[in-house]
Homo-oligomer: A and B are copies of this chain.
Amino acid sequence: MENAENELTRRFAEARPPFAGWLQVELVSVSPDRVEAQIHVAEHLTNRAGGMHGGAIMAFADILGGMAARASLPPLTRTTTIESKTNFLRAIRPNQMAHGVCIPLHRGRTITVWQTTVSDGDLRPAAIVTQTQLNLPAE
């Protein structure tokens, strides 16, 4: 990892939203072109079948998408999520690390589109999340 990316990752980890801290999302790296993170699939994140709850998967992915959108923001702008779409492909077993990688599909001036792939501990894709962000002037 280059120094600039190191620095960006540190800044994003410090300024993470409270919800990301509560979920114990671990930021691996942040750059304008890619955000990577992981999360331990503890028992409290599971569904009745014992796998990672779909809501927890979407929450984890949304944190990555928000950070990625923010890492690409022009000066004096902020970003808000307009919509998010998840396809669930596979269950994630508990007591392992789930991985997430977010990349841009499109970066327009006003609208950006991001795709986050959440994988299980064997790095098999378990969910694909596509979300749209709206860039607005900073308040």
Q: List chain A positions with a Cβ less than 8 A from chain B.
A: 15, 17-23, 43-49, 53-56, 58-63, 66, 78, 80-90, 105-106, 108, 110-111, 113, 125, 128, 130, 132, 134, 136
Contacts and interface: CB of A to CB of B under 8 A. Distances in A.
A62 B66 contact: no
Contact of A87 (B15, B82, B134, B136): B82
Contact of A55 (B58, B83, B105): B58
Mostly, the A contact residues are: mixed
Nearest to A139: B49
25 contacts: A17-B46, A17-B48, A18-B44, A18-B45, A18-B46, A18-B53, A19-B44, A21-B44, A49-B78, A53-B63, A54-B66, A54-B81, A55-B60, A55-B63, A59-B59, A83-B132, A84-B86, A84-B88, A89-B113, A90-B106, A105-B125, A106-B125, A111-B134, A128-B130, A132-B132
